[in-house]
Amino acid sequence: MSSVLFDVPGPRARLRHRLYALIGVLVLVAGIGFVVYRFAESGQFDGNKWTWIEYQKVQTDLLDALLNTLKAFAAGAVLALLFGAVFAAGQLSDHKVVRVPSMVVVELFRAVPLVVLIFVFHYGLSLGAPFYSVVLGLTLYNGSVLAEVFRAGVLSLPRGQSEAAYAVGMRKTQVMNYVLLPQAVRAMLPAIISQLVVLLKDTALGFLITYEELLRYARYVGSIFEFGRPLVPVTIVVAAMYIAMCLLLTWLATYLEKRNRRDKKVVALETKPAEDVVAAAV
C-alpha cells in the first residue's frame, strides 16, 4: 500500500536523506554550542550569577509561581475542553438557531488574539483578580480552537457510527455525547494535547496583568541588583521548568494513545471467538 501512495526511496535517496539529517543535527548542535559559548563568555555561568537559587525564600516563591502557573493551566484546560465540546456539538446541530450562534462565537474568539482578550477582561471588564482574566482568556481562545478540533474529529468518523446509534433509538444529543464525541476525542488526542501545550505556555501572558506566575517571578528575580541581575540564569531555570511540563504532557498523550491501541486489541481478541462461532454456524 505504501508503494502505491508514494515512491519508496532507493539506496541513493536513503543516503541523501541520512546526509540531510546529519547536516541538520550538526547545525542544531552548532547553534546550541554557540549560544552556550556566548553565555559562558558573558559570565552567565559564573557562580555569583547563580547564588539566588540558594536562598530558601527564592525557592519558596519560585514554587508558588509554579503552582500559580499550574493552577491557571488546570482551570483553563478543563474549561476549554468543556467549551470546545459544547460549541463543537452546537456547530454540528441540525437547528440553525443553535448552529449559527455557535459558529459565530467560535470564529470570533479564534480571531481575537489571546493577549487582547486578557486585557479586555482585566482592564475593560475589571474582573478583579488577574487569575480570572487569565483563565477566562485561555478558556475562550483555546476552547474555540478545541471546538474546531472536536468538530473535525466528529466529521472524520464513519457515518455508520451515528446511523447505528439512531437505529437503536438514540436521540441526536445522546448520539453526540455517548457515541461521537468520545470517539472524536480519542481520534484527535494528539491535536488536543498539542493545544493543551499551547495553553500551558500561554499562561505566561499573565505577567502582563501582574499575575504572579513563572515568567513574572523570573523577571522580578532577574532584576534584583543584589544577585547581580541574573536574568539569563533565571530564564534558563524557568525555561527548563516549562520544557519539563510540556514533555510531561507529551508523555501523557503517548501513554493514552498506547493504552487506547491496547484496549482495541483486547476488544478485537474478545470478539473474535464469537465471530468464529457465527461463521461456523453459517
Return the residue matching grid coordinates 523570573.
Answer: 218
User: And the C-alpha cell for 173?
Assistant: 444529543
Identify which of 208, 192, 200 has the alpha carbon closest to the alpha carbon of residue 238.
200
Which range of 63-72, 144-153, 170-179 scores highest in mean pLDDT? It is 63-72
Of residues 5 and 161, more confidence is placed in: 161
Q: What value does the mean pLDDT take over residues 32-41?
A: 89
pLDDT bracket for residue 264 (50, 70, 90) = low
CA distance to 140, 247, 270, per residue, from 145 (Å)? 9, 21, 37
Per-residue pLDDT at 278: 37
pLDDT per residue over 167-217, tens digit each? Answer: 887 887 778 777 887 787 777 888 888 899 999 999 999 999 989 999 899
One-letter identity of residue 99: R
Residues 206-250 pLDDT 10s: 999 989 999 899 888 888 888 878 888 898 899 999 999 989 988
- What the chain holds in terms of domains, given with CATH numbers, is 56-201+209-261 (1.10.3720.10)
Which stretches does DSSP call E strand in 50-204? none
Residue 188's pLDDT is 82
Q: Of 64-73, 165-174, 253-262, 267-276, which gets the smallest average pLDDT?
A: 267-276
Separation of alpha carbons 58 and 65, rounded Å? 10
Q: What is the pTM of this model?
A: 0.78
How many C-beta atoms lie closer than 10 Å to residue 114's C-beta? 18
According to the model, what pLDDT value does residue 146 have?
93
- Grade residue 265 by pLDDT with cuts at 50, 70 and 90: low
Q: What's the average model confidence in pLDDT over 111-135?
A: 90
**pLDDT at residue number 2:** 45
Residue 244 grid coordinates: 519539563
The residue among 153, 120, 131, 152 whose CA lies nearest residue 79 is 131
pLDDT at 276: 52
pLDDT given for residue 1 in this prediction: 43
Residue partners of 191: CB distance under 8 A and separation at least 6: 149
Lowest mean pLDDT among 112-116, 157-161, 229-233, 259-263: 259-263
User: Which of 59-68, 122-131, 180-189 bottoms out in mean pLDDT, i.e. has the lowest?
Assistant: 180-189
Q: What percent of the chain has pLDDT over 70?
A: 89
Output the DSSP codes for 83-123.
HHHHHHHHHT-S-HHHHHHHHHHHHHHHHS-HHHHHHIIII
Q: Give the CA count within 13 Å in the CB-facing half-sphere of 181.
A: 21
Here the cell at position 33 is: 554550542
What pLDDT shows up at residue 161? 75
Residue given cell 433509538 in the structure block: 169
